[in-house]
Amino acid sequence: MKKKNKKLIDKKGLRMDGRKPDELRSVKLEVGILPNADGSAYIEMGKNKILAAVYGPKEMHPKHLARSDRMVLRCRYHMAPFSVQERKSPAPSRREVEISKVIRDSLVPAIFVENYPRTGIDLFIEVLQADGGTRCAGITAAALAIAEAGIPMRDLVVACAAGKVDETIVLDLMDTEDKVGSADVPVALMPNLNAITLLQMDGILNPDEFEEALNLALKGCKKIYEMQREALKTKYVNLKEVEEQ
Amino acid sequence: MPILFEKRQIVTPGELLAEGEYTAGENSYLEGNKIYASRIGLVNWDHKRVNVVALKGLYNPKIGDIVVGTVKEIGFSGWSIDIRSPYVANLRAADVLSRSFKPQNDELSQVLGIGDLIVAKISSYDRAHDPQLTVGEPGLGKVTRGQLMMVTPTKIPRMIGRKGSMVSTIKQETGCQIILGLNGIIIVTGKNPENEQLAMKAIQRIEDEAHTSGLTDRITQMLREEKAKREVSKNEEEK
């Protein structure tokens, strides 16, 4: 870390945007906002704005990608050119290809892929505005989109990051904290099965710090999960009201 | 341990439904001795079997199902039919012509063109093979007239009702022919557009309120009221 950087945590122990170390950014979730897609979701997490859309399951094209014993999940994580300060080239970068792969691997365990052999589903995650932690927010939205598409799932998947900033373990890093801070640990969780499907670490943490960060991230995941479940149910709330009459 | 939810409560995938001596029914699965939901829907159970009535689902082909499909592609010896399922169904030319098919004599596009609508039965299907259709039974074949409706496939059983009580009510009250494709496509054919409209209105209502009880009675009542209204307006016009 360079000494010139301004303090990321002030004397009161608050972060740049006034959050406490273990506080999440404000989250807004919406399900079923793209009528053309089989399933879709939108997430706002702080300044992050991300759309997720699911198409399928359908016949896999090209055919050689189909698996005779399971469904294939094809995932594209993409950042819009206008999602960051400096224009991002719309071509998929090395980073985006990797994140697409990581997101796919974190969602596949939650889907009953063996129920629909020889088919494929296409998942698109489009980052409209990015401010750190987009892969986690993307996973959270994608899980909702898959559930809304009526694809059978073992559990929803929810993701959240924790990290180390100014020698403090903090939850849900934003862009500056991620870049200037010393470590970032994104975690994806299947909350009911209590299974982790994604665990990465970027930076340096000692074993104790890592454990603290992981536990903090898991706590964050569980908080977001409640909102995720609420968002999914809200779409059908009108139905429930009819029922109560 | 008992069931953790009330009947007809909404659940999301992964929610723990019951623990102990239960079996997993539709849209739920067993892990150890716990039962979880696998789709968003409403919980229901009878005896030891826990079900989730899915609010949105896909059509899973089953042998013997009557489905409505559109011709997607004309092949060398048959058609590819879109049946709104993850799998594309095949219809053999020999089956439609009910004799052996000779490419030099028969032009497939003259029998069924792209975009044509057909009612067919699934004659074979398994995990390794795409569904095969047949039209060699009365009532099956090309659809030439009527109104088309699309609903979620999971709601078709509700439209059929107990032993077909729901469809037969609508058929009786409106005098319309109704074909319920188990893949969620419905064809309504009536003597005049008004009757078709009425039947479609009833079907729409069933889709919206599929998860409520006492629906058959309400639908009957609605149809009768609508018909009475029409009678009145007709009489007024005659005057």
Q: Is B237 exposed, middle or buried (0-12, 13-18, 19+ CB in 10 A)?
A: exposed
Is the pLDDT score of B37 beyond 80?
yes
Q: Is A111 helix (H, G, I), strand (E, B) or coil?
A: strand
ipTM of the prediction: 0.89
Domains of chain B: 10-54 (2.40.50.100), 66-142 (2.40.50.140), 147-235 (3.30.1370.10)
| Partners of residue B186 on adjacent β-strands | B149, B180
Tell me, what's the pLDDT at A2? 45
Confidence label for B53 from pLDDT (cuts 50, 70 and 90): confident
Report the number of distinct structural domains present in chain A: 1
Query: Per-residue pLDDT tens for A52-69?
Result: 999 999 999 999 999 999
Q: d(Cα B217, Cα B55) in Å, to the nearest integer?
A: 22
Taking CB atoms and an 8 Å cutoff, what residues of chain A touch B128? 68, 117
| B47 or A151: which leads in pLDDT | A151
Cβ neighbours, 10 Å, residue A5: 12
Residues 6+ apart with CB under 8 A from B77: B92, B93, B94, B101, B103
A62, part of any domain: yes
Query: Per-residue pLDDT tens for B199-221?
Result: 999 999 998 887 777 888 899 89
The pLDDT mean for chain B works out to 90
Query: Per-residue pLDDT tens for A162-204?
Result: 999 999 999 999 999 999 999 999 999 999 999 999 999 999 9
Confidence label for B229 from pLDDT (cuts 50, 70 and 90): confident
Q: d(Cα B188, Cα B203) in Å, to the nearest integer?
A: 10
Q: Is the dihedral of CA A130, A135, A137, A142 positive or negative?
A: positive
Q: Residue with structure tokens 């039965």?
A: B121
Tell me, what's the pLDDT at A1? 47
Is the pLDDT score of B2 beyond 80?
no
What per-residue string of b and e applies to B61-80 under the rule 16 or more CB within 10 Å gives b? Answer: beeebbbbbbbeebeeebbb
Q: Which of A72-76, A224-228, B55-59, B213-217 has the lowest mean pLDDT?
A: B213-217
A169, part of any domain: yes
A14, part of any domain: no
A164, part of any domain: yes
A67, part of any domain: yes
Q: d(Cα B94, Cα B78) in Å, to the nearest integer?
A: 8
> Is the Cβ pair B36, A243 closer than 8 Å?
no
Eight-class DSSP state of A92: P
Is the pLDDT score of A4 beyond 80?
no
Q: How far is A49 from chain B (nearest CA, A)?
A: 24
Among chain B residues, CA nearest to A57: B86
CATH at A46: 3.30.230.70
Tell me, what's the pLDDT at B99? 86
Tell me, what's the pLDDT at B20? 86
> Is the Cβ pair B14, A154 closer than 8 Å?
yes
Q: d(Cα A165, Cα B6) in Å, to the nearest integer?
A: 46
Q: What's the average model confidence in pLDDT over A118-131?
A: 97
Cβ neighbours, 10 Å, residue A141: 29
Confidence label for A3 from pLDDT (cuts 50, 70 and 90): very low
Among chain B residues, CA nearest to A245: B212
Tell me, what's the pLDDT at B4? 77
Q: What's the average model confidence in pLDDT over B49-67?
A: 92
Tell me, what's the pLDDT at A110? 97
Tell me, what's the pLDDT at B67? 97
Q: How far is A27 from chain B (nearest CA, A)?
A: 19
Domain that holds residue A208: 27-231
| B62 or A5: which leads in pLDDT | B62
Q: Is the dihedral of CA A17, A18, A23, A24 positive or negative?
A: negative
Closest listed residue to residue B69, CA positions, set B52, B55, B54, B87: B87
**CB contact at 8 A, A158 and A191:** yes
Taking CB atoms and an 8 Å cutoff, what residues of chain B touch A158? none
Closest listed residue to residue A167, CA positions, set A221, A205, A121: A205
Q: d(Cα A73, Cα A69) in Å, to the nearest integer?
A: 13
Query: Per-residue pLDDT tens for B131-147?
Result: 999 999 999 999 999 99
Tell me, what's the pLDDT at B68? 97
A61, part of any domain: yes
A237, part of any domain: no
Q: Point out the residue among B40, B87, B208 whose CB comes nearest to the CB of A147.
A: B40
Residues 6+ apart with CB under 8 A from A240: B10
SS (H, E, C) A145-187: HHHHCCCCECCCCEEEEEEEECCEEEECCCHHHHHHCCEEEEE
Confidence label for B1 from pLDDT (cuts 50, 70 and 90): low
Query: Per-residue pLDDT tens for B143-185?
Result: 999 999 999 898 898 888 888 899 999 999 899 999 999 999 9
Query: Per-residue pLDDT tens for A19-33?
Result: 999 999 999 999 999
Q: Point out the residue among A59, A152, A239 whose CB comes nearest to the CB of B27.
A: A152
> Is the Cβ pair A150, B58 closer than 8 Å?
yes
Q: Is B93 helix (H, G, I), strand (E, B) or coil?
A: helix
Eight-class DSSP state of B57: -
A21, part of any domain: no
> Is the Cβ pair B12, A232 closer than 8 Å?
yes
